[in-house]
Amino acid sequence: MNVRHLLEVNDLTPPELIKVLDLSEQVEPPQVLAGKGMALIFEKPSARTRNSMEMAIVQLGGHPLSVRGDEVGIDVRESAEDVAMTLSCFHAAIGARVFEHAKLERIAAVATVPVINMLSDFSHPLQALADLLTLRQHFGELKGRKLAYIGDANNVSRSLMLAGVMTGMDIRLSSPKGYDSPEADVVLAKTLAQEAGLRGAVTITTDPFEAVDGVDAVVTDVWTSMGQEEEAIQRRKAFQGYQVDEKLMSAAALGAVFLHCLPAHRGEEVSAEVVDGPRSLVWAQAENRMHSARGLLSFLLAGGQS
C-alpha cells in the first residue's frame, strides 16, 4: 500500500481534497486505527491541533501519543530521520508541529507511515481543511465562492489560498508590502487553479477594502506567528489599517461570514465585535478541526485511495 503524507494541501488532488471533506462528515468513522497508535510531536504550543487530532484518533479507534519537541529532541538527541524511523516502528502515523518545514520534509522522506503537517513556518494544511469544511457546511458549495484573507501572508494564508483555488474559490489576499505572499506561492496557486479546472482565482492587493468587496467570507490570522515574537512591535505598526472590524466586514457581501483559525487577538487583527459577533463561524471552525482531521486520517490510513 502506498504511504501518503500531507505536508501541504496540494499533496492531495482536488478530487481527493473533496473526498477528505466528505469523509469528515461520515457519521460512523471507520475504525482504521483500531489497536494502533499515532505519534504527535509538538515543537510549538497548541490547543486546537493537539486536542482535535487526539480526539480524531480516538474516534478512529486509535491511541494518540502526544510529546513535546524537547522530550524527543529532534536533531538534538538524534536526527529527525532516526526519530522518524523509530516512530514508524510503533505507530500507524506521525504528526508533527515544527518550526522549520524542512524538518517535516526530512521526516516524511524516511517515515514508513503517513506523516501529517500539524503546522510549520510554511504551511498549515489541517487548518485549511477545517476552513473549507466550515464554508462548505455554511454555503453548500465552495466553487465560485469569494474569500478575502486580510493580514499577514503566513502558513495559514498559504494553505488556505492553495486549498481554496483547488476547490474553485476566488481567493483574494491583502497584506501590507513586505508581509505579502511570496511570488512563488502565488504562481503555484494560479497553476493549481488552472489544473483543477474549476475557475478558481487568486488576487493580491495591498488594499483590504478592495479585497473584501463583495466576498462571501473574510478570514484573518495573527499578525505575529509563533516564533516571530521579537518582531511583534514592528508588526503591530506595519499592520495598522488591516484589522477586520465592522467597517471592513460591511464591504463584504450581505451574509458574509468571518473565519479565524485562532488563537485570536481582539483589538489587533480582529475587533471583538467581529470575532464574537453573529457573522463569526470561529467555533464551528474550531470544532471542524476534529472532523476534518478524522476525514484526513480516514483517507490517508486507507492508503490514500480516491
Q: What is the Rg, in whole angstroms, of the alpha carbon atoms belonging to the chain?
A: 19
Q: Which stretch binds ligand CP (CB under 6 A): 13-21, 43-51, 58-66, 293-301?
A: 43-51
Q: Which three cell numbers stand for residue 38?
A: 499515532
Residue 55 in the binding site for ligand CP (CB under 6 A): no
Residues in contact with ligand NVA, total (CB under 6 A)? 9
Q: Which stretch binds ligand NVA (CB under 6 A): 26-34, 69-77, 149-157, 267-275?
A: 149-157
Q: Which residues pair with 42 in a beta bridge?
A: 68, 97
Nearer to ligand NVA, 32 or 126 (CB): 126
Contacts of ligand CP in 256-295 (CB under 6 A): 261-262
Residue 130 in the binding site for ligand NVA (CB under 6 A): no
Contacts of ligand CP in 124-153 (CB under 6 A): 127
Instruction: State in angstroms the smallest separation of the CB of 221 from ligand NVA.
Output: 5
Residues in contact with ligand CP, total (CB under 6 A)? 8
Q: Which does 221 bind (CB under 5 to 8 A by kind): ligand NVA, ligand CP, none?
A: ligand NVA
Contacts of ligand NVA in 89-128 (CB under 6 A): 119
Nearer to ligand NVA, 110 or 226 (CB): 226
Please state whether beta strands 37-42 and 93-97 pair in parallel, antiparallel, or not at all (unpaired): parallel
The residues assigned a catalytic role are 97, 124, 127, 221, 261, 289
Residue 116 in the binding site for ligand CP (CB under 6 A): no
Q: Considering only residues 38, 108, 156, 196, which one is a binding residue for ligand NVA as defined by CB under 6 A?
A: 156
Q: Which stretch binds ligand CP (CB under 6 A): 26-34, 40-48, 107-115, 171-179?
A: 40-48
Separation of CA 264 from chain center: 15
Separation of CA 118 from chain center: 8
Residue 185 in the binding site for ligand NVA (CB under 6 A): no
Q: Please, what sign has the CA dihedral across residues 244, 247, 253, 258?
A: positive
Q: Which does 185 bind (CB under 5 to 8 A by kind): ligand CP, ligand NVA, none?
A: none
Residue 226 in the binding site for ligand NVA (CB under 6 A): yes
Residue 180 in the binding site for ligand NVA (CB under 6 A): no
- Interface positions with ligand NVA (CB under 6 A): 119, 154-156, 221-222, 225-226, 261
- Interface positions with ligand CP (CB under 6 A): 46-49, 119, 127, 261-262
